[in-house]
Amino acid sequence: MASKGDQLMEEGEKSLKKFSLFSFGDDKSEKAREKFIQAATQFKATSDFAKAANAYKRAADMSEKSKNEMDMISDLEEAGRCYVKAKDTATAVRMYSRVVDYYDKNQQPFRAGKVCVSLSEITPVPEAMKWLEKASKYYESQGSKVTASEVTLKMADIKARSGDYKGAREIYEQLARAALDDRVSRGGARKLFFTALLAQLASIKSESIMEDLEVLRDRFEEYQDLDTQFNELTREHMLVKAVIEAIEDENVEDMEKAVMEYDNICPLDELRENMLLRAKTELRRRVESIR
């Protein structure tokens, strides 16, 4: 027996084929859209997201036929969300891309940026970076500096997670410098400089650890000169200083202790913990190689 959603889809398709002297094409499309929307609601209620996505896609087709662009975009966005839940990423990208194009054409950059961020969450790293860069530009064009910075920070985090620590460090530093020039954001510069240093730490190699340490130390001093709040009284400063000393002494235990002390007071998230772990692994390799 057909489900309620299937029945509604069938009714919607049949209504398009009915001939009536008193019914115009737009009327048919609007009535069919209503059925498809109702069907989508039924499918979502039973977590059948593939069918829900298709129902919203058909609703968007009807909105396009009746030249109702606002409904069409709403339907396409809903279809995109359902395709994501149905794990049909390729079709979701097509739906969302059409939405971005519409918002771009109609000069709605904030909405376009929001959809670009959604696209970045479902695409591989290279594509995700392009969508985030696009989103950042949309937000900047609106004067939404804070939102643009949040998007750029996502880009840095993605680079760090994918192992591009140099690229990540450059973005963290860029954001930190920009924050220093903004009265509202200035307080967040220290954490960004700190994360930039962690990305630098994650770049060190056991075979060139002392040379890499010099680069880290230089950046550490530079960031302190730039941001007076990044000083010896802060936990971030204490950790970086202790880690530099542990690497100089080639002492893995001291590094572990410094990280643990920081983590007990200021819990590290997975990304920053992994960057420190990577540095510790390289330090251990260095120590083992000279024994």
**Using H for helix, E for strand and C for coil, what is the string for 80-110?**
HHHHHHCCCHHHHHHHHHHHHHHHHHCCCHH
What does the alpha-carbon distance between residue 68 and residue 66 come to, in Å, rounded to a whole number?
6
Contact (CB, 8 A) for 187 and 229: yes
Q: Please, what are the averages of pLDDT over each run of 10 residues along the chain (291 residues)?
A: 85 78 64 94 97 97 93 97 98 98 96 98 96 97 93 97 97 97 90 98 96 97 96 97 97 98 97 98 93 71
What does the alpha-carbon distance between residue 231 and residue 26 come to, in Å, rounded to a whole number?
67
What does the alpha-carbon distance between residue 278 and residue 255 come to, in Å, rounded to a whole number?
12
What does the alpha-carbon distance between residue 43 and residue 6 come to, in Å, rounded to a whole number?
8
* 175: Cα within 13 Å, side-chain hemisphere: 31
The per-residue pLDDT for 19 is 55
The per-residue pLDDT for 160 is 97
Contact (CB, 8 A) for 169 and 159: no
- Classify domain 1-106 by CATH number: 1.25.40.10
The per-residue pLDDT for 182 is 87
Token pair in block for residue 86: 């149905």
Token pair 């650890």 is found at 209
The per-residue pLDDT for 49 is 98
The per-residue pLDDT for 217 is 97
What is the rounded (10 degree) CA torsion for 228, 232, 236, 241?
Answer: 120
> Residue 163 — left, alpha, or beta (φ > 0 → left; ψ -120 to 50 → alpha)?
left
The per-residue pLDDT for 26 is 62
The per-residue pLDDT for 72 is 96
Tell me the domain boundaries of the chain: 1-106, 177-291
First to last CA, the chain: 74
The per-residue pLDDT for 20 is 55
